[in-house]
A and B are shown apart, each in its own frame.
Chain A
Amino acid sequence: MVNLENITRLEDAKRDHLKSTEESFIERLPISFEMLLLLPSILVLGVLSIIPLVTLLWLSVMEGVLSPTDTATFAGIQNYRAIFTNSSIIESWRVTGIYLFVSLGLQISLGTMVAVALDRVKYIDDLLTSIVLMPMLIAPVIVGFLWAFLLDPSFGLYTYLLNQLGFYTQSPMFSDSVGAMIAVIVMDTWQWTPLVSLILLARLKSIPQGLYEAARVDGASFISEFRYIELPMLQSAFVIALLLRSMDLMRFFTKIFITTEGGPGSSTKIIGYFVYEQTLRFGNLGTGSALGVVMLVVTILMGLFFVEAIMGGAGDE
C-alpha cells in the first residue's frame, strides 16, 4: 500500500516537473498554443499561394516574357484590355457560360431526383449508394477516354444503341460543335451528379420522419410532400452543391483536354482550357495570366458565397 502511494507521488512529481518546463516554454511565447500549431501551415500555404499569385500578377502586366530574345517589357493593362476586346476570349466566356449553365441544371435536377429516390428506398440503399458514388472516384482522364470510346462513331457502345433506337446519324459526335458540347456535358454529368445527389441526400436524411407522417395524415400526395417538405428543406444544400460544382467546373478541364481539346473550332474551349492553351501551348503568358487573374476573382467571389453558406449558417447546423 505504502509502496503504491510512493509511486503515485513520484509520478505526480515527475509530471509536475515536465508540465512546468513545457508550459513555461509555451507561455513565454508571444502567441497562443493554437496559433503555434497553425503557424507552420500558414507559412507553407503562404509560400505556396502568395508567391505564385505575385508571379501571376507580374506575368499579367508583362509582355514577351518567353520571347526568344528574352526581353520582357512592361505592358500595363494592355493584357487586361485584350480580355474585353479579343473576340476569341469573349467566345470562350460564352462557351463557359453554356457549359456551366447546362451542366449545373442537369446535375442539380438529376441529382435531386436520385437523392429523393435513394432517400425513399429502404432496402439495398447501401449498395445503391456505393454504386452511385463510383464515378466520382475515377480519374477524369479515364472518364474522358471511356466516353470517347462509348461515343465513337464506328465502334462505340452508346452510338450503337442510339443507332438501334433510330436517333443518330453516322456523323461523329465529337466533330460536331453541338454534339461535342453535349458529349462534354454528359461526361461531367455522369461523373458529378452523384456528388450533388449525396449532398442532397445527407440533408434529406436529417428531415424528421414525423413531418412525412403528419403530411400523410393530412392526405398529402407524393408530389406535394416533395414540394412542401423536401424542397424547402433542401435549399441550403442546393446552394452548397451549386457553388461547389460551379467552382469545380471552372477549375478542371481534363475531360475536355482528353476528348475535344476545345474543338471543333472553339466550341468546347472553356475558359480554363483557353488559359492553358494560351500560356503553355502558345507561350502567350501575358494574356493568359491576365485572364487567369480574372478567373481567380470570379472563383473567389463564388468561394466567398460558399463559405458564407456553410459557415454563416443559413439555416444549417
Chain B
Amino acid sequence: MLFAFWTLVPIVWMILSSLKYQTGMFEMPPTIIFDPNLTNYHDVLVGDTPVVSNITNSVIVAVASTAVATFFGAIGGYGLSRTDISGKKHLAFWIISTRMAPMAVVIVPLWFLFRYADLLGTRVGLVIVYSTFNVPFAIWLMRSFFDEIPVSIEEAAIVDGATRWEAFRYVSLPLAAPGLGATAIISLIFAWNDFLFALVFTGQDTQTLPVAVASMQSLGGLGWGTIFASGTLVIIPVAVFGYIVRDYLVSGLSMGAVKE
C-alpha cells in the first residue's frame, strides 16, 4: 500500500502540475486543490511551442520499427524455437546480446556510419537504429511464445495434409497471436519512450516527442508547464497500451525469463 503511494505520488503530481498556471506550480506550500486549466496543453498543441509534428514523427518511427520488429519476430522467433541445429544456444545468445549491448556502444559506430551514409537526421535512420534493439527483442520473445506451442499440433496438421508453411501460418501463428500482439506493443513502447537514440539521430524536422520535451528545458523555469503537459501526452498512450498487455509486460520486460 505504502509502495503504491510512493509509486503514484510523482505521477499524480506531474499531471496535477500540468493543469496549473505557471504561478500555481511553484507555490509553497504546494497546493493540491486548485482551479485546473488547460493552458499548458493549449500551448503544446496549438500555442507557442507546438509538438504536433513531433508527435507525428514519434508515431511514424515507432510504428515503422514495430512493424519491422514484429515481422522478424514472427518468422525468426518461430525458426529459432523449432530449429535443432547444433549451436542453437550460441545463436540464441548472439541474437539477444545485440539487444543487451549498452546504448553508448551502439550509438557511436552507428552515428559514425550514418554520417557517411547520410542517414543522420532522417526517420529511416532512426527506424534502423530502433531495429537494432527491437528486432532481437521480438525474436527472443516470440521464441519463448512459440516454445510453449507443442510441435505435435503442427505435426497433426501436417499429417492432415498441410505443408510446413501452412502449419506455421494457419496453426502456430494464430496460437501465438496474443504473444505477437504483446511483442508488438512492447516494441512500440520501447521506440516511443526512447530519448537518447532519438536525440543523436534526429534533426530539426525529425525530432520525436521525448526530444522535443527535453528541449523545452532550455526555456528555463518557465518550461515546466509545457514539459509536464507534453510529458503527460507521452505517458497516456503508453499507459493505455501497457494496460492492454499488462499480463505479458513482465514476461516481455524480463525478455521471456519470467512466465506468468
**A residues near B, CB below 8 A?**
12, 15-16, 18-19, 22-23, 26, 32-42, 44-45, 48-49, 51-53, 55-56, 59, 65, 110, 113-114, 117, 128-142, 145-147, 149-150, 154-155, 157, 160, 190, 194-195, 198-199, 202-203, 205, 237, 240-241, 244, 247, 250-254, 257-258, 272-273, 275-276, 279-280, 285, 288-289, 292-293, 295-296, 299-300, 302-304, 306-307, 309-311, 317
Contacts and interface: CB of A to CB of B under 8 A. Distances in A.
A138 B15 CA distance: 13
Contact of B139 (A39, A41, A276): A41
B3 A114 contact: yes
B19 interface: no
A38 B75 contact: yes
State which size class the interface on B falls in: 35 or more
30 contacts: A19-B161, A26-B164, A36-B79, A40-B76, A41-B76, A42-B91, A45-B98, A45-B139, A48-B98, A48-B131, A56-B109, A59-B112, A129-B246, A132-B4, A138-B11, A138-B234, A142-B14, A146-B231, A157-B30, A240-B257, A247-B100, A276-B103, A276-B104, A279-B104, A280-B107, A280-B200, A288-B104, A296-B102, A299-B100, A317-B259
A137 B80 contact: no
Interface string B14-40: 100100000001111110000000000
Interface stretch (B45-53, B176-184, B189-197): B189-197
A22 B163 contact: yes
A128 B8 CA distance: 11
Contact of B250 (A131, A149, A199, A292): A199
Interface of B: 1, 3-4, 6-11, 13-14, 17, 25-30, 72, 75-76, 78-80, 82-85, 89, 91-98, 100-113, 128, 131-132, 135-136, 139, 161-165, 168, 189, 192-196, 200, 210, 213-214, 217, 224, 227-228, 231, 234-235, 238-239, 242-243, 246, 249-250, 253-260
B interface secondary structure, majority: helix
A interface secondary structure, majority: helix
B196 A299 contact: no
Contacts of A203: 258
B192 A157 contact: no
A48 B132 contact: yes
A128 B6 CA distance: 12
B235 A142 contact: yes
Contact of A202 (B168, B194, B246, B258): B258
